[in-house]
Structure 1
Amino acid sequence: MKKHYFLAVPIEEKQRMILQNWIHNHKSSLPFKSWVHPEDYHITLAFLGDIEQHSKLIELTKRVNETLKNDQQFEISLKGIDVFGKAESPRILWAGVEHSVSLNHLQTRIVKACEETGFQLDRKPFRPHITLARKWNSVQPFIKFARLDEVFNDQPSPSLVSSIHLYQTNLDQIPKYEAINIFPLKRK
């Protein structure tokens, strides 16, 4: 079984708990086929796909270390729940984050490091999000309930981005994402 790799921001425990609490309160009315394990919550910066050459991972690790050597930690906050896909039958339920210049800048630089290492990346615009569930699984259409996009406005939820992880996907395990390299950011 091929393994896929990606670079991502891991989600801190306190934000995972906020998301889990929201899911606990709404899951019965949201029949998605699969729910993401809380330890797998992350914000993807660059999806690398299958990597057949170990030397490419070594080169990427060096380049990402160099790219991040002066980057400082920063905070992000949860903002809303939304979907990707057809309105009546979405493929992804996700939690968003407040706009962050630091996060956007970091993602741009990570993509550049990956491309300089020879990776062909998807060039869709960056939409930072945390996937919560996949594949609507009901004959009834999905109905976007009131305030879906304002779910976390009443709860302060800043979280520290203190590292970037290089993850490997293990489809036969739960949780399925394994951090095979951690790139720490400097403390302020």
Structure 2
Amino acid sequence: MEPNRIIEWWTETQKVQQQQQMQALQQLLNQLQERQEQAAREPRGAVMGAVAGTPGVDEDSGARLPIRLTKLGPDDDPEAFLVTFERVATAARWPQEHWATLLAPYLSGPAQLAYRGMSARDALCYYKVKEAVLDQLGVTPESHRRRFREARYDPLERPRAVAQRVKEAGMRWLEPENKTGTQVADMVILEQYMRILPTEGQR
């Protein structure tokens, strides 16, 4: 397949995925809004158990929202964990300036060490915390590139699952949502160029 067609295919697939995610988020937000409106109509005594200002609690209505988060475990995919956190935070309408503080109790192991090693100022910025956690756990575009290139077909695995695994590694390596088509093409061309050089030239 030609590089231009590959880029078009990746871009189109990413657009479809983003549309599906936005629709799912919109449905979740609509459900949360309906529940908040319903809780606002209930007597105050029915929601006395709620604690204002805590995650999963709507301060206006005092209603507990259906949000359950778990700690990042050693076998969890850190990127998937952070994406889930971001979607929950968006759906619950938590202010973005509080995301880092809300995320901190759910970190464990090396991720927690990365957070602890940050300055007090940087630890308040969610995106700096995210970057530090992923860096500590060795999650980089280069690690995804290797996973993409080293992917093998397992006869015990469903073909659709294999395709999803390869696609996910490729998308995380190339990050087409943050790059132009030319930049993505440059990454693929550079990688191929590096592969055909002799060892001395690669160094």
Task: Report the TM range for the smaller structure's normalisation.
Answer: under 0.3
Greater share of residues in helix: 2
- Structure showing greater radius of gyration is 2
TM-score, structure 2 length as denominator? 0.21
TM-score, structure 1 length as denominator? 0.22
Greater share of residues in strand: 1
Per chain length, whose mean CA-contact separation is higher, i.e. which structure has more relative contact order (CA < 8 Å, sep 6+)?
1
